[in-house]
Structure 1
Amino acid sequence: MHDKEIEGKMEKLPEDLRREVLDYVDFLLSKYQGRENSRGKFKFDWEGGLSEIREEFTSVELQHKALEWR
């Protein structure tokens, strides 16, 4: 999209500033890398969170209890 514009501006910079720009680009890539990959995907990191009460309640009983708490 802006490749030629970026390339033209990079050519005008001295070598030490070009390295700084590249470092900043690497920083941005690492900072925002996980955002695109995680969008739209549901995580099941909560799975098994209530396993210790499995023998005490059924899933239906837990659903009713959750409705009471709302």
Structure 2
Amino acid sequence: MQEIEKVLSKLPPELKKEVFDYAEFLLKKYREKKRKGFTFSWEGKVKSGLSSVELQHKALEWRA
């Protein structure tokens, strides 16, 4: 961390702002990447008694 601070202290204010903006961009990108992906929080919530294949067929019927 001291290395980063050492380099930052040598930059003019406008470049420090660019570094700050880029760091915020990276943080946002990292957070969004972390949130993506499948979660199966819905698993076991359907109480219809139908199998997944039967539910797919029902979904096709409902779309028609």
> TM-score with structure 2 length normalisation?
0.56
Q: Which runs of 4+ in 1 moved over 2 A?
A: 34-39, 41-48
2:19 corresponds to which letter in structure 1? V
Say how many residue pairs are matched: 54
The equivalences for 1:4-23 within 5 A come to 4-23=2-21
Gap regions ≥5 residues in structure 2: 55-64
- Note the residue ranges of structure 1 that are not aligned, 5 or more in a row: 49-53, 64-70
Distance 2:42 2:50 in 1: 21
2: CA distance, partners of 1:47 / 1:30: 32
Q: TM-score, normalised by structure 1?
A: 0.52
Q: Identity across aligned pairs (percent)? A: 33
